[in-house]
Structure 1
Amino acid sequence: MNLNDLKLFDAVAYHGSFTKAAEAMHTVQSNVTARIKILEDEFGTALFLRTSRKVSLTPAGFTLLESSKKISNIIAETKLSLGGGNTINGQIRIGFLETTMALRGPGLVNELAAKFPQIEIDFKSAMRDKLIDDVLNFKLDAAFVPAPIDSEELGQVHIMDESLVVVAPIGISSLDELVQQLQIKTIVFDQGCFFRARLESWLGSKKISNYHRTVMSSIEGVVNFIESGIGFSFLPKELITTFYKERKLKIFSLPTEIGAIKTVLIYRKENTSDPLLNAFMSLFH
C-alpha cells in the first residue's frame, strides 16, 4: 500500500465509480481496479460492494476511508509545518442549499481567495438531508444547512439567522385571502426541501390538506411561477429582497415557530485537524 493507492481508494469512494475515479485521477480504469484489488488483498476484506449500477463502501471500506482521511490530514499538517506554515493549498468541498449559495457563495469565494489564494472551493447544491449525509460520508468537507442537527459525529458553527416568508402573487392582499381560495396552489421544490416541509407544516396547522403542488427545480422557476399568479411558496426573505425586489410579488411574514431559520456550518468532528477545513472555518470566527 502507498499513498497513491489511498488517493485512488478515496476517489472511488467519492465518485461511487471506478470509471469516474480513473477520470478524476487521470489514469485508466484497469489501474484503479488493480490497485483497489491490492488494497483488498492486503487488508483481507472487500472494501467495495460492486453492482452493475454503482460501487459503494462496505463497513470495512468506510473504516478505511475514515483512516485515510486522518492520514491525509496528518500529511497535510506535516507539510505545512515543515514548509514554515505559510501556504495552505488544495480543494475543499462545501455544500449549500441553493438559496444559501445564491446569498453567501460569491462573498465566501472572494473572502477565501483574499485570505487563502491557494485554496479552491468545489460547491455542491443539494437538499438538507443529502448535504448532511454527504458530510457524514466524507463526500463533503462541510455544509451550510438549517438547524437543528442531531448527530454526535457532527460539529457545527452558527452562521446566521434567517426568516422564511410567504411569497405570493402581487394580487393577493392577505394570508387569509391566500388560504381561503377555492383551490390553493403551491410552488415548491422537490421532496426533501426544508422550505417545502415548513410550508406543508404551516398548511397542516391550518387543517388544509387538499392543495395543488407544482414542483420546480430552481429558484428562478419558483419565482417566475409565483409572479405569473400560479401559486405561492415559502422562501428566505433576504433572497427575495436582495434579488427579486423589483418583481411583482407580495411578501407576508410568518410566526416565529414557522418562519425562523438558524443556519449552521456542519463538519465531521474528527476532521478538524484538516488544514483546509480549519482555514475555511476561520472565515467565521
Structure 2
Amino acid sequence: MMIDIILNNTGGAIMESLELRIFREVAYTKSISKTAENMRYVQSNITAHIKKLEGELNTTLFIRHSKGVTLTKDGEKLLYQAEKIISLLDKTLQSFQNNPKTLKIGTTQTIAGYLLPKCIIEYQKQFPNVSLSVSTLNQDELDQSLSNGLLDCIITNSTHNITQGKQVLEFQENLMLATPCSCNSINDIFAYPIIINNIKSCPYRKALLDWWNLHQSKSPMIIELDTVEAILNTVAMGGGISLLPKYILADKQNINSFCIEDLQYTSIQMWIAMNKLPSEYFALKDILKKQFNIDNS
C-alpha cells in the first residue's frame, strides 16, 4: 500500500494518508473490527493508527461505545477534509498512470436518465482518465452485482438494505404530484387514474399508492408503464396523475405539479463495495451533494 506523508508548514511530518484512509473507513463503518476486516489489518493496528492521528491533532475523533464508534464534531470536520486530501492524492497519482480505469456504476432507470447526466459531465472534468460505465438494473440485481464485484458503486432510491455494501451518502428526494394541465387543484386529482411504474419495488409507486389509500376508500384505476418518458407523456396528454421527483418535472410543459405534505418521502442513497476505498467514489458523492446543495454534516 502506498503511504503518503503530509507535511506541516515547517516541513515536519504530521500524518500519513494511510492514517486518513483508516480514519475514513472507521467513520463510515462505525466499527474498529469491521474496518480491520475490510482493510485486512488486525484490530490493534487500526486502533493504534487512530490513536496516533488523535495525538497528532490533539483531539478526540471518535466516541467509543458498546455498539462501535461515533464521530465527534472534530471527527466530522476531519472526515470532510480527509476526503478532499485523499481525493487530491489519488488524482495526482492517476495523472502519472497510463493504464485506463473504469468506474462501474449501477443505478435505476430514473436516476440514470435524469439525475446522473450532469454528475457524469462534472465527474469527467475531474477525472478525465477514468472511463464511466452506467448500468440500469432493478434493486435485487443492483445488490447482487455489487456483491459479486460487477459494480463499484450503486446509486438507488430504494429502502432495501444492501447486504454487501456500505452507504456513503443519503439525502431526501423532493417528490411532486404530476397532473395534466386540466387539473387545477388538489381536489381534482381523484378523478384521474394513477400512472405508476410496473416494477412493484418502485418507491414512487409505493408512496403514491399509500397516499391514495390514506385519502380514498375506493381503489384507484391504475395504468402501469415501464419508462419515465411514457409516464410523463401520458400525464401530459391527460391520461392520469403520477408521482415523480421534482428534478424530473422541472420545466415540463403541459404538466401541473403539486407539493403534497403527507407523502412518504424517498431518499437517494450511494453505496460502495465493502472492499472499495478509492477516492473516485467519494468524488462522485461530492458531485451529487453539490448538485443537490447538501451540506457536509
Q: TM-score range by the shorter chain?
A: 0.5 to 0.7
Match of 2:168 among 157, 169, 181: 157
1:142, CA displacement in angstroms? 1.0
Paired residues, number: 195
1:201 and 1:103 map into 2 onto residues whose CA distance is 25
Quote how far apart the aligned CAs of 1:173 are: 2.1
Q: Which residue among 111, 114, 121 is the counterpart of 2:132?
A: 121
- The equivalent of 1:186 in structure 2 is 194
Q: 1:252 aligns with which of 258, 272, 275?
A: 258
Equivalent runs, 1:81-160 vs 2, <5 Å = 86-87=96-97, 89-146=100-157, 148-151=159-162, 153-158=164-169, 160=171
Distance 2:145 2:181 in 1: 39
Q: 1:279 offset after TM fit, Å?
A: 1.5
Instruction: From the superposition, tell whether residues 251 and 270 of structure 1 become closer, same or farther in structure 2 (CA, over 3 Å).
Output: same
Question: What is the TM-score of this pair, normalised by structure 2?
Answer: 0.58
Cα 1:130–1:197 change in 2 (3 A) is farther
- 3-state SS, counterpart of residue 173 of structure 2: strand
CA contact (8 A) 1:128 1:194 kept: no
Q: Deviations over 1:87-134 (max 9, x none)?
A: 373222112222222333222222222222221111112334432343
2-structure distance, mates of 1:263, 1:143: 10
Map 1:1-285; keep pairs closer than 5 Å: 86-87=96-97, 89-146=100-157, 148-151=159-162, 153-158=164-169, 160-179=171-190, 181=191, 184-191=192-199, 192-208=201-217, 210-242=219-251, 244=252, 247-255=253-261, 257-258=263-264, 260-272=265-277, 275=278, 278-285=279-286
SS of the aligned residue for 2:174 comes to strand
User: What SS is found at the alignment partner of 2:150?
Assistant: coil
**What does the per-residue CA deviation read over 1:235-263, in whole Å, with 9 as the maximum and x for residues that have no partner?**
01111115x2xx111111122552x3321
- Report the CA distance shift for 1:255/1:212 in structure 2 as closer, same or farther (over 3 A): same
Change (3 A) 1:137 1:255: farther
Q: Is the 8 A contact 1:166 1:232 kept in 2?
A: yes
Counterparts of 2:163 and 2:221, CA distance in 1: 38
In 2, Cα distance between the equivalents of 1:116 and 1:218? 31
For the residues of structure 1 that align with 2:239 and 2:110, how far apart are their CA atoms?
A: 21
Cα 1:176–1:186 change in 2 (3 A) is same
1:203 touches 1:209 (CA, 8 Å); kept in 2?
no
2 CA distance for matches of 1:167 and 1:131? Answer: 28
After superposition, the CA RMSD in angstroms is: 2.8
Kindly, what percent of the aligned residue pairs are identical?
18
Change (3 A) 1:262 1:269: same
CA distance in 1, matches of 2:233, 2:93: 53
User: Where does structure 1 lack aligned partners over 5 or more consecutive residues?
Assistant: 1-69, 71-79
Q: Which amino acid aligns with 2:196?
A: V
